[in-house]
A and B are shown apart, each in its own frame.
Chain A
Amino acid sequence: MDIVWFLVLSAFIFCIGAAGVIVRRDPLVILLCLELMLNGGNLALISFSRMHGSEAGQVFALIVMVIAACEVVIGLGIIVAMYRNRLRIDVDEMSELRG
């Protein structure tokens, strides 16, 4: 299977995620779209690792997965805190970070 197909697929996944980050209003869904973007990057890393026959790219992808997990945990914590403070869960309405 040609590696270029994987690269084009990763580009598509990345830009679908980018469109979602821009268009959606629910911060929870924006986090999901960020996951899409990170996964597009991961797929490109693993494709290049296969292309050059080096496993370093796979380790990079593993670290990216760790970063994504951290980002999810913090983001969901912020969303739960917003919900507890009776704020509307909508990025258009949020303009300040003061707790």
Chain B
Amino acid sequence: MWFEQVLFFIVAAGALAGALGVVMLRNPFYCVLALVVHLVALAALFLLLQAAFLAAAQVVVYAGAVMVLYIFVVAYIGGQDEALRPDDSLISSFGPLFAAAIGVELCFALIGTGLETLDTRGADVGPGFGSPGEIGSLLLRRFLVPFEAASYLLLVAAVGAVVLARKRRGIEEAPPAPQPEPPPTETLEVRV
């Protein structure tokens, strides 16, 4: 089906452009916006793979909630441009090489695994594949324990974030206003 292929290449280009934007843009605010583009493109890819529920979850949870959290934090800490490393830094030349090596290795591994389905469109699945009902029944029957563990993990993470980001030891408190000197009174000094 040519329509599906055209859609795949448009959306894949969008996903790659978003990913490159995250890595290359210097202002963190623009990085977050590039990641939103990437996530929406990825949701379209999930739809092409007949994962309708995950596509919806990707848009609502990731592109909606998590990215709003990022935007808030970027706005809170200022979001100034990142300083560049010096040009002769080892990391900035080693990093892309390392990533290219990982990419080549992953391509070999994944294509080797996928070779058995080369030129096929995957297993025959019914129209209900990946629908919310099927995912929900899997989550509540076969994967009940991971589901519950994930809910506890979310709770722990939420409590941990509150503990981490709370105001601590008065660092942000304004210096106390100068109190008028109390009139000297006789004080009883207690020595222990």
Chain A positions within 8 Å of B, measured between CB atoms, are 1-20, 22-26, 28-29, 31-33, 35-36, 39, 42-44, 46-56, 58-59, 61-63, 65-74, 76-81, 83-86, 89-90, 92, 99
Contacts and interface: CB of A to CB of B under 8 A. Distances in A.
- Majority DSSP secondary structure for residues of A touching B: helix
Contacts of B10: none
A13 B35 CA distance: 12
Contacts of B165: 76-77, 80-81, 84
Contacts, number: 256
A22 B95 contact: yes
B29 to A, nearest CB: 10
Q: What DSSP secondary structure best describes chain B's contact surface?
A: helix
Interface of B: 1, 4-5, 8, 12, 15-16, 19-20, 22-23, 28, 31-32, 35, 38-39, 42, 45-46, 48-51, 53-54, 57-58, 61-62, 65-66, 69-70, 73-74, 76-77, 82-83, 85, 91-92, 94-96, 98-100, 102-103, 106-107, 110-111, 113-115, 117-125, 129-130, 134-135, 138-139, 142-143, 146-147, 150, 153-154, 156-158, 160-165, 167-168, 171-172
Given A8-B107, A16-B23, A25-B82, 13 more contacts: A8-B111, A9-B45, A11-B103, A12-B103, A13-B15, A36-B22, A46-B49, A51-B117, A53-B122, A54-B123, A61-B51, A61-B54, A78-B164
Given A9-B45, A55-B129, A86 B171 contact: yes
Nearest to B101: A15
Contact of B70 (A32, A59, A83, A92): A32
Contact of A84 (B8, B129, B139, B167): B167
Contacts of A31: 70
B31 A32 contact: yes
